[in-house]
Amino acid sequence: MNTYSVKAKDINRSWHLIDAEGQILGKVATEAASYLMGKHKTMVSRHMDTGDNVLIINAAKVLVTGNKAEDKIYYSNRSNYLSGLKEATFNQMMDKNPIFAVQHAVRGMLPRTRLGEAMMSKLRVYPDSEHPHGAQIKKTELKGNTEGDN
């Protein structure tokens, strides 16, 4: 019996829609990372990007538990000087840029390699329910319905 090795031509990518409204940030990020890595597929491979495209909508309405809204701090230091360190709490980040908070959570669950960057390029996050990917999502839903009828 031979071991199956995934080839690039065998990879079929689909689209997954995640509605983050009223959901916990960590659970949304875990689900998105699982789809991006391809762990939901039978042909999962750690050395290849077998994952699917992920679309997260309503990122501005994501929740956190406990005191994380005030205690969770995002750091940035673009100037690389000690005096250039900036910090923002989760509430401040959600007011300023809710897309970053969700992307940051998903990025932390992916590999820190070129492969992880390729996975991140398939993630799209929108602060509200409007997005320009309606054709891709409808095609995937239609495909899922026709497979279930057979």
Q: Provide the residue ranges of all domains of the chain, joining segments of one domain with +.
A: 13-64+94-144
- 150 residues of the chain, pLDDT tens digit each: 788 889 999 999 999 999 999 999 999 999 999 999 999 998 888 899 999 999 999 999 999 999 999 999 999 998 989 889 999 999 999 999 999 999 999 999 999 999 999 999 999 999 999 999 888 886 555 444 444 444
Nearest to 87 by CA among 70, 102, 99: 70
Other CB atoms within a 10 A radius of the CB of residue 119 amount to 26
Write down the CATH number for the domain with range 13-64+94-144: 3.90.1180.10
Q: Name the token pair of 118.
A: 């390729």
Contacts of 2 (CB under 8 A, 6+ apart): none
> Model's pTM, two decimal places?
0.86
Count the neighbouring beta carbons within 10 Å of the beta carbon of residue 123.
20
